[in-house]
């Protein structure tokens, strides 16, 4: 009752899951983003123009206490980078593990941001009816030459199902061997843990540096009701144990590029992450 009066009690949904508390929403979300359009001198017009965006199809993430957090992919971390990538001439295909609808944190949607909401409307059909990662890996992957990058947006949903997905493991290894760019923001890098499933050999990104959402912040967020409990694991710690160097300590605008891997620290980094990603892809095509 006291938590509810203070506005720090997570909000219960009809399905028994919890949204962030009113205070958490006030502190952690905004009705507009800091998106600023960049006029690239040249946009890409070649045959490798497609980007595969891997989204979670899981809505509820179970906490240590058994309560479910209503999550998915964070709309800002997903849509703002997409705007920059699209402006640079690239086309995004939405994928989920089995082709079920992509889950999005609706409570974080920047509803007053015209650019973001327009792009969301453009892709809504793809979110509802995405392509199947399983089908792609088993039927199309080895012969494919259309894709130039993999994009894994954040939101706690990236920790739910993706790190344990064998098809994603195959995709990550395939993209690494083909020297494609890997783009992952906030909790998105958690999905890269899939590359180490079965622990067969050294982690692909051992020795790499990444910007990720800090474990220390995830441990604190239940205090203001952002989540209804503690996470069952800290993905930053797991990455560190596999030889990854985490470059940031705060959930800020930090972005980082290490070879073909581009990462960002939080929703605050979405605009800069999108610009860095689009610029790196254009540079790889000798357009900058």
Whether the pLDDT of residue 6 is over 70: the answer is: no
Active-site amino acid positions:
186
Residue 22 covered by a domain: no
The token pair at 117 is 């909401």
The token pair at 165 is 């997905």
What mean pLDDT is predicted for residues 26-54?
94
Whether the pLDDT of residue 280 is over 80: the answer is: yes
Residue 10 covered by a domain: no
The token pair at 220 is 């604190």
Residue 176 covered by a domain: yes
pLDDT for the residue 2: 53
pLDDT for the residue 146: 94
Residue 167 covered by a domain: yes
**CATH code for position 182:** 3.40.50.880
Residue by residue, DSSP assigns 228-248 as SS--S--HHHHHHHTT-EE--
Residue 60 covered by a domain: yes
Residue 38 covered by a domain: no
Residue 229 covered by a domain: yes
Residue 88 covered by a domain: yes
Whether the pLDDT of residue 221 is over 80: the answer is: yes
By 3-state DSSP, what share of the chain in percent is helix, strand and coil, each rounded to 5? Answer: 40, 15, 45
Helices (H) and strands (E) counted in the chain, each on its own, are: 9, 13
- What is the residue range of 111's domain? 50-284
pLDDT for the residue 1: 55
Whether the pLDDT of residue 135 is over 60: the answer is: yes
Whether the Cβ atoms of residue 213 and residue 231 lie closer than 8 Å to each other: no
Strands across the sheet containing 91-96: 131-132, 91-96, 50-54, 147-152, 181-185, 261-264, 255-258
| High-pLDDT (> 70) share of the chain, % | 98
Q: What is the number of structural domains in the chain?
A: 1
pLDDT for the residue 141: 94
- pTM, whole model, 2 decimals? 0.96
């Amino acid at each position: 009752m006291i938590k509810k009066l203070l506005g720090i009690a997570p909000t219960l949904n009809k399905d028994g899951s919890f949204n962030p508390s009113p205070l958490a929403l006030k502190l952690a979300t905004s009705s507009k983003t800091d998106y600023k359009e960049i006029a690239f001198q040249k946009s890409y017009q070649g045959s490798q123009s497609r980007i595969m965006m891997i989204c979670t199809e899981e809505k509820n993430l179970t906490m240590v206490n058994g309560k479910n957090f209503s999550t998915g992919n964070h709309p800002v971390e997903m849509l703002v980078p997409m705007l920059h990538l699209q402006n640079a001439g690239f086309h995004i295909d939405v994928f989920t593990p089995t082709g079920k609808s992509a889950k999005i944190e609706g409570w974080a949607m920047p509803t007053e941001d015209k650019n973001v909401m327009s792009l969301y409307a453009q892709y809504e059909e793809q979110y509802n009816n995405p392509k199947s990662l399983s089908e792609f890996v088993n039927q199309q992957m080895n012969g494919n030459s259309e894709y130039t990058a993999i994009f894994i947006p954040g939101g706690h949903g990236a920790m739910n199902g993706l790190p344990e997905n064998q098809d994603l493991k195959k995709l990550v290894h395939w993209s690494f061997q083909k020297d494609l760019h890997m783009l992952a923001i906030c909790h998105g890098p958690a999905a890269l843990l899939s590359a180490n499933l079965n622990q067969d050999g050294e982690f692909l990104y051992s020795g790499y540096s990444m910007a990720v959402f800090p474990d220390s912040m995830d441990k604190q967020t239940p205090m203001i009701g952002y989540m209804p409990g503690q996470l069952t694991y800290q993905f930053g710690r797991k990455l560190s144990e596999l030889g990854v160097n985490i470059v940031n300590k705060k959930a800020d605008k930090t972005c980082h590029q290490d070879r073909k891997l581009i990462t960002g620290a939080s929703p605050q980094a979405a605009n800069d992450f999108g610009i860095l990603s689009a610029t790196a892809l254009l540079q790889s095509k000798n357009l900058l």
